[in-house]
Amino acid sequence: MSFRFIHTADLHLDAPLKAIALRDPDLAQAVGVASRTALSRIVDMCIDESVIFLVIAGDLWDGEHSSTKTPRFLKQELLRLHAAGIRCFIIRGNHDALARQTGELDLPENTILFGGRASTAELDVEGHRIAIHGLSFREPHAPESLLPRYPAPKPGAFNIGMMHTSLNGSPGHDNYAPCSLSDLDAHGYDYWALGHIHRRTEHIGQAAIVMPGTPQGRDIGEAGASSVTLVHVTDDNAVTLEQCTVACLRFDQIEMDCDGVSEWAELLTMLERYIRQAGQAPRREEHLVIRPVLRGVTPLAWRIARDLDRLTEEARAFAADAGIWIDKLELGIASEEDTGSFAGAHLPAELVRTVLEDLPGDPGLAVAMTQAAHDLLRDLPPDLRDILGQDETDLALRCRELLADGAPIILAGLTSDKAV
């Protein structure tokens, strides 16, 4: 008999959104409930698709919880699965490690939460044997591979391994339980249900190895479509993967070419056009949050930087009329005078492109800036230390944003040095 199950991870229920809240409290409120909506829709999909079980590969929660609000919501959703006869299997990741959680309610009978030692749950679905192997993080950090702790595959069963891992590493993610695709492939399981990296990846070899990505993005660092995976398994254990969207809200970054724009009214007309086009583009999500990125060479560069607050409010007015949200405006522009002088004897035009486009994405510079941020945070009073986020991922994202914002300032400094 064939069967189906759904694989998800990294919901980060009720994750703090302080960076967004500082810019737009209404947007923070909309994003704050999106993770709950995603979980409810995952449960709806499980019921509609008549799956046998749901696997959640870590970071269902986001840090410690002192109230029962979130646990109560989670239990209600798990009880919906229970009423439909659908099992649920959960492992802990770095954000919801066993040592971090408080205030939880007892799980219903249909749900298995794997502990800090690897164990196996076995099912028999009309003669089709299924073995699900799982291991939760005990502590928020797992610097070594967890793979040696997973049991051997059960003979004659469809074997699923649940693991929260950074694999061989990913930009913006710390190193957690590192391992290689080849090592996972060689372990002998049929399917690896992974979590931790918020971008979807699939590898089909001896095993199907799937990182479903987050089902609901939380900020512009998680731009684009989010997904969960509906897995179809045939009688001969062949696997088919279906990428499904449950998100109610989507983040996207849009590039605006400001080359040659010389009038403020022209800039506003262009900004409105880009925003309306983004709002009219086909998408499955009900809500859209965009970050316009202004690039190019324009005589308005200095005025745009000076009046960025005013331009942001213009953008938010256009967005509200188009039924979407603005995260913030990002600048990657220079004036004609600046680029003209850089293109001369003192500095090549390529330097301008390097500063505006390459530096914000340079991994080495990102590491150095993150370390500088750590040094700064140690010197701040305790009540101000959340200003750059509450974990490493938030800190790295905020550092990238600051680096992009600071690129035009670097150009201005180079211009000033030359003029002296």
154: DSSP letter: P
CB-side exposure of 416: number of CA atoms within 13 Å?
A: 6
pLDDT at 64: 62
CB 271 within 8 Å of CB 308: no
Percent of the chain clearing pLDDT 90 (strictly above): 56
Report how far residue 10's alpha carbon sits from residue 13's, in angstroms, rounded to the nearest whole number.
8
pLDDT at 136: 93
Instruction: Cite the DSSP H helix spans in 52-135.
Output: 69-83
**Using one digit for the tens of pLDDT, what is the confidence trace for 176-218?**
788 999 999 999 999 999 999 999 999 999 999 999 999 999 8
Query: Which residues lie below 8 Å from residue 260, measured CB to CB, with a gap of 6+?
Result: 296, 297, 298
Domains of the chain and CATH, by start = 3-245 (3.60.21.10), 249-338 (no CATH), 349-415 (no CATH)
Phi first, then psi: what are they for 338, rounded to 5°?
Answer: -60, -50
Of 179 and 231, more confident = 231
Length of the chain: 420
Which of 88-97, 255-264, 346-355 has maximum average pLDDT? 255-264
Q: What is the mean pLDDT of residues 65-91?
A: 88
> What is the phi-psi region of residue 63: left when phi exceeds 0, alpha when psi lies from -120 to 50, beta otherwise?
left
pLDDT at 408: 64
> Residue type at 381?
P
Q: What is the mean pLDDT of residues 338-347?
A: 44
Residue 342 has pLDDT above 50, yes or no: no
Lowest mean pLDDT among 293-297, 345-349, 373-377, 381-385: 345-349
pLDDT at 311: 97
Q: What is the mean pLDDT of residues 110-128?
A: 93
Residue 297 has pLDDT above 60, yes or no: yes
Query: How many C-beta atoms lie closer than 10 Å to residue 12's C-beta?
Result: 24
Q: Supply 233's token pair.
A: 């398994």
Binned at pLDDT 50, 70 and 90, residue 417 comes out as: very low
Long-range contact list for 271-279, CB < 8 A, 24+ apart? 271/311, 271/314, 271/315, 271/318, 272/318, 275/315, 275/318, 275/319, 275/322, 275/324, 275/326, 276/318, 276/322, 278/252, 278/254, 278/322, 278/324, 279/319, 279/322, 279/323, 279/324
Instruction: Please report, for the chain, how many H helices and E strands are present, in that order.
Output: 12, 16
Report how far residue 346's alpha carbon sits from residue 414's, in angstroms, rounded to the nearest whole number.
10
H/E segment holding residue 121: strand 119-125
**Using one digit for the tens of pLDDT, what is the confidence trace for 123-182?**
998 888 999 999 998 887 777 889 999 999 999 999 999 999 988 765 555 567 889 999
Residue 346 has pLDDT above 80, yes or no: no
CB contact burial 251-287 (16+ within 10 A = b; e otherwise):
bbbeebebeebeeeeebeebbbebbbebbeeeeebeb
CB 215 within 8 Å of CB 42: yes
pLDDT at 399: 82
Of 242 and 176, more confident = 242
Residue 28 has pLDDT above 70, yes or no: yes
Of 332 and 241, more confident = 241
Helix pair angle (308-322, 264-280), 10° resolution: 40
Residue 22 has pLDDT above 70, yes or no: no
Query: Which residues lie below 8 Å from residue 382, measured CB to CB, with a gap of 6+?
Result: none
Query: Which residues lie below 8 Å from residue 270, measured CB to CB, with a gap of 6+?
Result: 256, 258, 261
Task: Kindly report the pTM of this predicted structure.
Answer: 0.78
pLDDT at 296: 92
C-alpha distances (whole Å) from 101 to each of 94, 112, 162, 173, 233 are: 11, 16, 20, 21, 34
**Using one digit for the tens of pLDDT, what is the confidence trace for 29-51?**
888 889 999 999 999 999 999 99
**Using one digit for the tens of pLDDT, what is the confidence trace for 369-407?**
888 888 888 888 776 777 777 677 777 777 877 877 777
Percent of the chain clearing pLDDT 70 (strictly above): 86
CB contact burial 159-198 (16+ within 10 A = b; e otherwise):
bbbbbbbbbeeeebbbebbbbeeeebbebebbbbbbbbbb
Residue 107 has pLDDT above 80, yes or no: yes
Q: Which residue has the tokens 């994405």?
A: 361
